[in-house]
Amino acid sequence: MRPYALTKRYYQPTMTKDYKIRNPSITLYPFHLRDDFDEGFQAVAKNAQDLWEILADDIGKTFNIPELQSLRNHLICYQNGQYYPSGEDKQSDYQELIASSQKTLRFQPNSQPDDLQLNGSIYPLRLHDTYTADLTLSVPTQTIPITQLQHFNPNGCLLPDNIKPSLGQTLLLYAEPISFDNYRRLADGCIQALWHNTPQPVPKLIAEGQLLGSPIFEYDHRNLNPAQQCHILVWLKGDPNTLNLPPSNFNYYLINLLFSHAKIRFAFAKSRELYREGQRLTSNIEKEIPQFTKIEQEPDAESRLTQLKQLLARIRTKVFDYTKCLSLLKENSNTLTVNTNNYREILEEIQKLTLADDNLDFLYKFLNLAEHDHQQQIQADLNYLFASQDLFQQMIATIRGMVEIEQIESDRRWQATENRQSRQLQEALARQEAAQREQERQAQEQAKQQEAREKKRERRLEDIIFFVGTVIGASGIFGSSYPLLQETPIQWHPDALLPIHPFVGSILWSIIFGIAIGLVTLFFLILIRKLLES
C-alpha cells in the first residue's frame, strides 16, 4: 500500500527571514473519542475528558489565557469542575458544548510575545462519538515575518505529542502573503517556523491544490499511528475574496471533512494492528498442530484423553480471541466504509462552493486511497484471516471428535471396571454374609456347648446335693440309732450265736434303705433327663 503523494520530488526548503505574512491564524482541529464501544453502547471512554483537560490546563497556561483555563466552567459536560457527560444530548450527532448562547468562547492572552496582538477563540463540539474543537489563534491586521510563527506553537504545544488526540488532528494555517517569491517556498517556510525549537521532525509536503482561489498545501508525517500523525494544511491567500466567498456552513463542512479524514485514517491504522494481531494468533494456534501427533502416540488412554481435553481448551480459547479479532477487523472495515461515504458526500458539498479554477485533487486522492487501496487491503486481510479461521474450526471439530471417541472408550472401560468392581463387591458381600452365618452358627454351637456345660454343672451340683443329702440322711439315721447304742453296748468279742445288736441292725437297714432310695432316685433322674433331652 503506497500512501498518497505528489509525483514531484521533495526537497528541504530553506527558510527565508525576509518572507512576511499578514493576518496569520492557526486553527487546531483535534479529534478524540468520547465513546468506548468495547465497554458497551454509548459507554464513555475512560480518558474521554483528556482533550478538555489538556486544552484548559496545558494550552491555557502556555498562552496565559484565563478564559481557556476556565474552559471546564463553560462546557455542558462538566458540573462543578467535574466531568459529567450525562449533561450532553445523547440523541444528537452534532452538539455544541458551550452552554451559553454564543457557543464560542473568545479570548485574548494576558501576555503577548514580541508585541504580537494574539486573539483567539474555541468552539467545542461533539460529533457522533467524538469530541473536537475549533481552537484558533490569530494576529488580525498585523504583518509579521514568518519567523514569528514559532509563537503560535511554542515548544510544539499544538502538536499531537502534547494534545494526545486518540483519532488524530489537523492544523490549518491561514495567512496573506506579503513578501515572498513562491507560494510553495512560503508554505515550507511557515512549516519550518512552526516547528522551531520542537523535538519532532518537520512534516513533508504530500499534496497541493487550490481552494476558493487560494493555493493550499498539505503536509504530513505519514505516521500510521493516528495519535502521532501530524496533518497540516497551509492555506495562503491568493484571491482577495477567499474568505468572503464561503457561506456560513463552510466551516461545518470543513470540520466534518477533517473528522471523516481522521476516522478513515484511524480505522485503517487500527485494521493494520488487528491484522498483525490476527497473524500472531494464527502463529500461536498453528504451533499447537504438532501436539496431535504427540498425543496420538501417548500409550496411556486416560492420559491421552486428558491431554486432548487440555489441547481443546487451549485452542478453543485462542480461536475465540482470533474470532474476536476478525470481528473487530470487520467493524473497522465498516467504519472505514461509512466514513469514506461521509467524506465523499461532504467533499461533493464543498466542491459545489468552489471556484471554476479551484483544484481539490489532493482531497480526491485521499478519497480514492480510502475507497480502493484501504478497502482492498482490509478485504485482503479479512480473506486471509477467514481462510485460517476455517482451518481452525476444522481443528476444533477434529479435536472434539477425538475427545468424544476417547471419552466413549473411557466410559466403556469405566463401565467394565464398574461392573467388575460390582461383581467383586457382590462376591465380597456374599463372602461376608457366609462368614457372618458361620459366625452365627459357631455362636449357636458355642451357646449349645455352653448350655451343655451349664447342664453338666447343674447335674454335678445335683449329684453333690444328692450326696450331701445322703450323707445328711445317714447322719440322721446314725443320730436316731445312737440311743440304741446307749441302751445296749456293743460287745467287741461277740458270740456268733448271739442275735445282731440293735444298733448294727439299725445301721444295716438304714444303709440298705438308703441304697434302695438312692437307686430309685437315680433311676428317676436318668429317666427325667432322657425325657427332657428328647
Whether the Cβ atoms of residue 13 and residue 189 lie closer than 8 Å to each other = yes
> What's the pLDDT score for residue 189?
95
Percent of the chain with pLDDT over 70: 84
Q: Where are the domains of the chain?
A: 20-245, 275-414, 449-533
> What's the pLDDT score for residue 319?
86
> What's the pLDDT score for residue 301?
74
3-state secondary structure of 175: strand
- Higher pLDDT: 11 or 473? It is 473
Whether the Cβ atoms of residue 152 and residue 193 lie closer than 8 Å to each other = no
What is the pLDDT of the chain when averaged over all its residues? 83
> What's the pLDDT score for residue 474?
57
Longest dimension (CA), the chain: 198
Question: Over 483-527, what HEC string results?
Answer: HHHHHCCCCCCCCCCCCCCHHHHHHHHHHHHHHHHHHHHHHHHHH
- Across-strand partners of 173? 26, 234
> What's the pLDDT score for residue 298?
75
C-alpha–C-alpha distance, residues 473 and 355, integer Å: 164
Whether the Cβ atoms of residue 165 and residue 29 lie closer than 8 Å to each other = no
For residue 367, pLDDT beyond 90: yes
Whether the Cβ atoms of residue 215 and residue 238 lie closer than 8 Å to each other = yes
Residues 6 or more apart in contact with residue 141 via CB below 8 angstroms? 22, 23
Strands 214-220 and 204-211: antiparallel
Taking CA atoms, 90 is separated from 34, 51, 52, 83, in Å, by 11, 19, 19, 16
Most confident option among 100-109, 216-225, 331-340, 495-504: 331-340
C-alpha–C-alpha distance, residues 33 and 87, integer Å: 17
> What's the pLDDT score for residue 141?
85
Whether the Cβ atoms of residue 363 and residue 209 lie closer than 8 Å to each other = yes
For residue 225, pLDDT beyond 70: yes
Residue in 314, 324, 259 with CA at minimum distance from that of residue 125: 259
Residue 55: pLDDT band (50, 70, 90) is very high
Specify the range with the lowest mean pLDDT, choosing from 126-140, 342-356, 430-444: 430-444
C-alpha–C-alpha distance, residues 117 and 28, integer Å: 19
> What's the pLDDT score for residue 441?
83
pLDDT digits (tens, 9 = 90+) for 233-259: 999 999 888 888 877 789 999 999 999
pLDDT digits (tens, 9 = 90+) for 258-288: 999 999 999 999 999 999 999 999 888 888 7
Most confident option among 93-102, 149-158, 380-389: 149-158
Specify the range with the lowest mean pLDDT, choosing from 28-37, 104-113, 304-313, 374-383: 304-313
Whether the Cβ atoms of residue 177 and residue 186 lie closer than 8 Å to each other = yes
C-alpha–C-alpha distance, residues 426 and 295, integer Å: 38
pLDDT digits (tens, 9 = 90+) for 147-174: 999 999 999 999 999 999 999 999 999 9
